[in-house]
Chain A
Amino acid sequence: MKEVAAKAQKSALIIDATDNVAVALQDFKKGDQCQISSNGREEKIQLLEDIPFGHKLAIQFIEENESVLKYGEEIGKMKTAVKKGGWIHVHNMFCERGGGK
């Protein structure tokens, strides 16, 4: 998968227009500029952390306990607030369903 990621443009994918996250289409380093585009919306976001391929980045400020929206649906809530360009994963997001970490 890493080789696939290397060929992609420096961009992230917004799956649904109502989402507040985008998915990294390649490995990003802190400080990288990431291109997001969705239904006419074109923007460059500066990343605040390293974000690996396939992981989520906030495309706007998301408050503590606010829903994380991907696929136009809630996939969990924030344990702590995240700034635009921040990484969202199990360290700062929770979902009561499913077990695991």
Chain B
Amino acid sequence: MSQTFMGFLRKDGKVGVRNHIAIIPSVFCSAKVAERIAYQVPGSVYFRHPVGCSQVGEDLEVTAKTLIAIGNNPNFAGVVVVGLGCERFSPYELADGIAPSNKMLDTVVIQEEGDSLAAIQKGSRIAREMQQMASKQVREEFPVSKLIIGLNCGGSDMTSGLIANPALGHASDKLVKHGGSSILSEITELLGTEEILARRAVNDEVAQDIMNTVRHTEDKLLKQTQQSSNKARTHLISTGNYDGGLSSVVEKSLGSMKKSGNAQFSGVIQYGHQPKSQGLFLLDSPGHDGEVSTGQVAAGAQIILFPTGRGTPTGFPGVPVIKITGNPKTYGRMKENIDINAGEVLLGNRTLEQMGEEIYQDILEVASGKQVKAEILGHDEQFCITRLP
């Protein structure tokens, strides 16, 4: 089996699995103009968000770093930054942050152009030209060491922890073994497993980082739930979990953690930051589906792997999200949304290892250009920047 994929080489040495033009608003006020530009130029994608102004401190920093990092993701051949003109996060600062990638880049500011129609017209012309340039680029062969995948999950049921996540873990392990990178997040779903995670750290420093990251999240949750009049709400595991057969929070969290297989952790990365080397990483992010994917794409992930037991249709602009379900009934119902039917393991037709191999092969096919169902159907709900209190 080949350990390569066909991708698009960028000038900074990164490799994209898609070749879109990204239309990125620096502030929520320019979101509609960005959307209109994207509609004018098929092949471009836009990033609607509610932030970029009236923010301070770390919260604004995370927004700025994340938007810059999205622009730097190699799935985008070019970027059109769309600003309003008076926002806290300047569109020129956003463009300056993307400039080091040396990709096609331009900025349109509504208040400088005159009005939204003028800005849409200028932005559309720029995006059209970028799209034509991008269309000339051909895919070339690269080793899987150029791939970064994000491990997410949502709409879970008991088949997620039992089948889809462990199968994905086998695929993630194989990618990491061949020099690729994989990012686990959802710290809120990992409580109770911090010592197990830390044991998988590549060195003591990373082990300490992992312990601190999980404990910090647990402390924050504890503070938020201390005032609750319903004490059962502060438990890390619910009655429904028990009924489903889970006997401890460690067992529940392991079901989530096993998306990352058994590989060693090379490091912990903060939201809006990128790993400095290759391997398996832990990204500090809460469990919200969109916030997780956004943090992973900002970290450089070109593909998101997404187990879903109950089935969710969501996707990410310009980044394929591969949906996997361990529930054969969900696959039967949601065939138009789910890419991989890991329910075959539940039915006794495949082992977890065989399913992991199928997932790995699908990652390579998608990296080489095969579109996933969320892309074809236009799902792009997962872009969602995390906010700090």
Contact = CB atoms under 8 A, between A and B. Distances in A.
Interface of A: 1, 3-4, 7-9, 11, 13, 15-16, 23-25, 35, 37-39, 52-56, 68, 70-76, 88-90, 93-95, 97-101
B329 A3 contact: yes
Nearest to A88: B247
Interface stretch (B65-73, B99-107, B156-164, B273-281): B156-164
Interface stretch (B120-128, B135-143, B342-350, B363-371): B342-350
B251 A76 contact: yes
13 contacts: A1-B158, A4-B159, A11-B348, A23-B162, A25-B346, A75-B254, A76-B248, A90-B247, A98-B192, A98-B235, A99-B234, A100-B235, A100-B238
A75 B258 CA distance: 13
Given A4-B329, A4-B346, A89-B245, A99 B237 contact: yes
Nearest to B255: A71
Nearest to B159: A4
Nearest to B248: A95
A13 to B, nearest CB: 7
Nearest to A24: B245
B328 to A, nearest CB: 6
Given A25-B346, A72-B262, A99-B237, A54 B247 contact: no
B346 A95 contact: no
Given A73-B254, A99-B236, A54 B347 contact: no
Interface residues of B, number: 41
Contacts, number: 113
B327 A15 contact: no
A98 B250 contact: yes
Contacts of A11: 348
Nearest to B262: A72
Contacts of A55: 245
B192 A8 contact: no
A98 B348 contact: no
Contacts of A70: 251, 254
Contact of B245 (A23, A37, A72, A94): A23
B267 interface: no
B249 interface: yes
A95 B245 contact: no
A63 B130 CA distance: 67
B163 to A, nearest CB: 7
Interface of B: 157-159, 162-163, 166, 191-193, 196, 232, 234-239, 242, 244-245, 247-251, 254-255, 257-258, 262, 327-329, 343, 345-348, 351-353
Contacts of B247: 56, 68, 75-76, 88-90, 93, 95
Given A4-B346, A9-B347, 10 more contacts: A4-B159, A15-B166, A71-B255, A72-B262, A97-B236, A98-B192, A98-B236, A98-B250, A99-B235, A100-B236
A25 B327 CA distance: 11
Contacts of B163: 13
Contact of A8 (B236, B249, B347): B347
A71 B348 contact: no
Contacts of A52: 245
Nearest to A70: B251
A98 B157 contact: no
Contacts of B245: 23-24, 52-56, 89
A99 B86 CA distance: 49
A64 B162 CA distance: 26
A4 B348 CA distance: 12
Contacts of A72: 262
A101 B239 CA distance: 8
Nearest to A71: B254
A54 B158 CA distance: 7
A98 B244 contact: no
A23 B352 CA distance: 13
A94 B346 CA distance: 27
Given A13-B345, A52-B245, A4 B251 contact: no
A1 B157 contact: yes
